[in-house]
């Protein structure tokens, strides 16, 4: 199969964008999970 | 309901990964088409974005209806997740299209029925997200964007019909599933559509998880 | 006469009186469209004018931009305190309030359309004579479509930030069909003196569906 710049660019663009979005979601999830854990009110009747 | 969807992300994610692997292999070994050459392989990364993009919008409207009828915020979070992920796929259609069109037909853009309708869909998505961002107060933001999602969905058939009336010819290749496609190409295409739908489902579940955590934290603060 | 109709006519009457007394909305729209048409008539090459197939489309675009001025102020009086709650007190199905509001906008927009068409006749040499009745019909249906979706979206954006940006952004993708149908129908009317059934149907269906949508959904808008 011959090399083609457009083909390469389109695959990188689409897969890269989806991966970047997925990674961003992962980062937000981690940050939020940490924050949720930190702000958990102490359980009653300790 | 929301919990289950969010937790399903793990399985959906694994399935999506497997499907992507299958698709990547099939796209690689698919025969090179005679007329367009290797350029035609861009199809495998352009076409699979269409179903998720349109599905995203339908789900946004469904979430809107759900919220307006039940007033349960999990419906609204679902609408938001579907909209955000949907607009990503919609953008990818519009970005990958020209990358195919230029080498294949010599022009970056053409106002044909499908591309034009997708551009308008993209603008409706963006308008929805702006309304969410700018509406005064979170209650208004939720019901108003639900309404816009529904009204936007009502408009889409009109848009499609209007664009059809307005444009004459189409440069767009005719629907591949209607012609007889060689087996290798059809397989790559179909596996791509399945894989991207799975990726879409996974991303929506993840985005929903983010929205839910944000809501929980917000609730604790108040 | 049922309560809803009474409320609708009351709202319509109030808005119309406001428009005619203050002449702000109507006046601003009239001046704006005149300004744009003058700009166009000066900058468009004179030789191309008569042959311009796209003059009808241009007219509808000018009208669309002009209508934004009026639509964005549709709920100005009611949102003085930052809420639409004053309308919520109506003793009936609140959809009728929407119909009253949309009705007032319909009349205002129809007036602006006729004014814009007259400007195009004077400054851009459009001869409406052979096409008056079909063109008028298109104007009515176009105004109805724009008034219905425009009033609804105006209510959605009335209390939002960046309203002047938000309303057109919300409106334009959804009003595109009317733009296409109306431009083509007007062009047909000018060229052949008739409008196809397809265009009548499309414009009528759009106006009907979005008027219904506004009627049913307005309750939700006033609830918040």
Read off the pLDDT of residues C150-169 as tens digits, 9 standing for 90 and up: 999 999 999 899 999 999 99
- Which of A1, A4, A6 to substitute to test the interface with B, most B CBs within 10 Å? A6
pLDDT at C223: 73
Is pLDDT at B158 greater than 80 in this prediction?
yes
Write C62-65 long-range contacts (CB < 8 A, 24+). C62/C33, C62/C36, C62/C37, C62/C116, C63/C33, C63/C112, C63/C113, C63/C116, C64/C146, C64/C172, C64/C175, C64/C179, C65/C32, C65/C36
More confident residue, A27 or B39: A27
Is pLDDT at A44 greater than 80 in this prediction?
no
* Contact flag C166-B137 (C-beta cutoff 8 Å): no
Distance CA C138, CA B166 (A): 17
Residues B163-189 have a mean pLDDT of: 71
Interface check A24 vs B, CB under 8 A = no
pLDDT at B169: 44
Number of domains chain C contains = 1
pTM, two decimals, is 0.91
Is pLDDT at B130 greater than 70 in this prediction?
yes
Taking CB atoms and an 8 Å cutoff, what residues of chain C touch B148?
153, 156, 170
Per DSSP, the residues of A13-46 read HHHHHHHHHHHHHHHHHHHHHHHHHHTPPPPS--
Distance CA C136, CA C154 (A): 25
Residue C72 contacts residue C171 (beta carbons within 8 Å): no
Domain with C218, as residue range(s), is 3-223
Is pLDDT at C118 greater than 90 in this prediction?
yes
In this complex, whether A and C touch, counting 3 or more CB pairs under 8 angstroms, is no
ipTM: 0.91
- Which of A2, A4, A9, A14 to substitute to test the interface with B, most B CBs within 10 Å? A14
In this complex, whether A and B touch, counting 3 or more CB pairs under 8 angstroms, is yes
Q: Which of C156, C177, C210 sits opposite B147 (nearest CB)?
A: C156
- B165/chain A closest Cα distance in angstroms: 31
Chain C's closest residue to B146, CA to CA, is: C220
Distance CA B37, CA B32 (A): 6
Distance CA C69, CA C80 (A): 18
Q: Is A2 left (phi over 0), alpha (psi -120 to 50) or beta?
A: beta
More confident residue, C184 or C219: C184
Is pLDDT at A46 greater than 50 in this prediction?
no
Q: Which residues pair with B33 in a beta bridge?
A: B37
Is pLDDT at B127 greater than 90 in this prediction?
yes
Instruction: Return all residues near C63 (Cβ < 8 A) that are at least 6 apart.
Output: C33, C112, C113, C116
- Which of C141, C165, C167, C180 to substitute to test the interface with B, most B CBs within 10 Å? C180
**Rounded CA Rg of chain B:** 19
- B71/chain C closest Cα distance in angstroms: 11
* Contact flag A14-B96 (C-beta cutoff 8 Å): yes
B147-151, C93-97, C206-210: range with lowest mean pLDDT: C93-97
Is pLDDT at B177 greater than 50 in this prediction?
no
> How many helices (H) does chain B have, and how many strands (E)?
8, 0
Query: Band of the pLDDT at B181, cuts 50, 70, 90?
Result: confident
Scanning C73-196, the segments in alpha helix (DSSP H) are 85-88, 95-124, 132-157, 163-192
3-class state of residue C54 by DSSP: coil
Q: Count how many Cα atoms sit within 13 Å of the Cα of residue C74 in the half-sphere of its side chain.
A: 35
> Distance of alpha carbon C151 from its chain centroid, rounded?
9
Terminal C-alpha separation, chain B: 25
Q: What's the maximum distance between 2 C-alpha atoms anywhere in chain B?
A: 64
Residue B56 contacts residue B196 (beta carbons within 8 Å): no
Give the number of other CB atoms < 10 A from CB of residue B66.
Answer: 18
Read off the pLDDT of residues B32-71 as tens digits, 9 standing for 90 and up: 887 878 888 999 999 999 999 999 999 999 999 999 999 9
CA separation (Å) from C103 to C5, C60, C183? 12, 20, 23
- B3/chain A closest Cα distance in angstroms: 15
Per DSSP, the residues of B38-96 read GGGGGHHHHGGGHHHHHHHHHHHHHHHHHHHHH--HHHHHHHHHHHHHHHHHHHHHHHH
Taking CB atoms and an 8 Å cutoff, what residues of chain B touch A11?
42, 45
Query: Band of the pLDDT at B176, cuts 50, 70, 90?
Result: very low
Interface check B210 vs C, CB under 8 A = no
Distance CA C128, CA C107 (A): 21
**What is the percent of chain B with per-residue pLDDT over 90, rounded to a whole number?**
67
B194-203, C73-82, C112-121: range with lowest mean pLDDT: C73-82
> How many helices (H) does chain C have, and how many strands (E)?
9, 0
Query: Band of the pLDDT at B138, cuts 50, 70, 90?
Result: confident
3-class state of residue B110 by DSSP: coil
Residue A21 contacts residue B88 (beta carbons within 8 Å): yes
Is pLDDT at B147 greater than 70 in this prediction?
yes
Is pLDDT at B179 greater than 90 in this prediction?
no
Nearest one of C131, C135, C174 to C151, comparing CA atoms: C174
pLDDT at A43: 57
- B87/chain A closest Cα distance in angstroms: 12
- C90/chain B closest Cα distance in angstroms: 20
């Amino acid at each position: 199969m011959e090399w083609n710049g457009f083909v390469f660019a389109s695959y990188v663009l689409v897969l890269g964008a989806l991966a970047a979005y997925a990674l961003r979601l992962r980062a937000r999830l981690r940050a939020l999970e940490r924050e949720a854990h930190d702000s958990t009110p102490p359980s009653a009747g300790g | 309901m929301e919990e289950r969807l969010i937790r399903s992300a793990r399985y959906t994610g694994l399935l999506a990964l497997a499907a992507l692997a299958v698709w990547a292999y099939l796209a690689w070994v698919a025969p090179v088409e005679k007329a367009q050459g290797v350029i035609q392989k861009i199809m495998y990364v352009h076409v699979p974005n269409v179903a998720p993009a349109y599905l995203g919008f339908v789900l946004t409207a469904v979430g809107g209806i759900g919220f307006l009828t039940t007033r349960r915020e999990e419906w609204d979070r679902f609408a938001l997740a579907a909209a955000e992920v949907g607009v990503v796929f919609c953008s990818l259609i519009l970005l990958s299209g020209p990358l195919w069109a230029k080498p294949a037909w010599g022009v970056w853009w053409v106002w044909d029925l499908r591309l034009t309708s997708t551009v308008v869909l993209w603008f409706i998505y963006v308008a929805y997200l702006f309304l969410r961002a700018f509406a005064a107060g979170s209650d208004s933001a939720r019901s108003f964007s639900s309404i816009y999602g529904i009204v936007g969905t009502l408009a889409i058939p009109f848009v499609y019909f209007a664009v059809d009336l307005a444009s004459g010819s189409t440069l767009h290749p005719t629907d591949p599933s209607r012609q007889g496609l060689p087996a290798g190409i059809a397989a790559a295409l179909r596996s791509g559509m399945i894989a991207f739908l799975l990726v879409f489902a996974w991303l929506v579940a993840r985005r929903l998880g983010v929205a839910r955590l944000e809501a929980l934290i917000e609730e604790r603060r108040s | 006469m049922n309560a809803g109709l009474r409320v609708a006519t009351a709202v319509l009457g109030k808005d119309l009186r406001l428009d005619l007394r203050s002449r702000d909305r109507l006046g601003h729209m009239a001046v704006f469209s005149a300004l744009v048409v003058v700009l166009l008539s000066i900058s468009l090459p004179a030789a191309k004018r008569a042959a311009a197939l796209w003059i009808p489309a241009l007219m509808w675009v000018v009208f669309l931009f002009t209508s934004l001025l009026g639509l964005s102020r549709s709920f100005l009086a009611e949102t003085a305190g930052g809420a639409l709650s004053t309308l919520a007190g109506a003793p009936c199905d609140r959809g009728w309030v929407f119909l009253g509001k949309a009705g007032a906008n319909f009349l205002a927009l129809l007036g602006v359309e006729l004014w814009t068409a007259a400007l195009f006749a004077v400054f851009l040499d459009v001869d409406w004579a052979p096409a008056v009745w079909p063109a008028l019909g298109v104007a009515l249906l176009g105004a109805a479509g724009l008034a219905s979706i425009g009033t609804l979206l105006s209510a959605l954006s009335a209390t939002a930030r960046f309203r002047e940006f938000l309303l057109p952004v919300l409106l334009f993708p959804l009003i595109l069909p009317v733009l296409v149908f109306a431009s083509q129908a007007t062009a047909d009317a000018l060229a052949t003196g008739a409008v196809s059934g397809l265009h009548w149907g499309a414009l009528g269906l759009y106006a009907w569906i979005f008027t219904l949508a506004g009627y049913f959904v307005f309750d939700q808008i006033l609830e918040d």
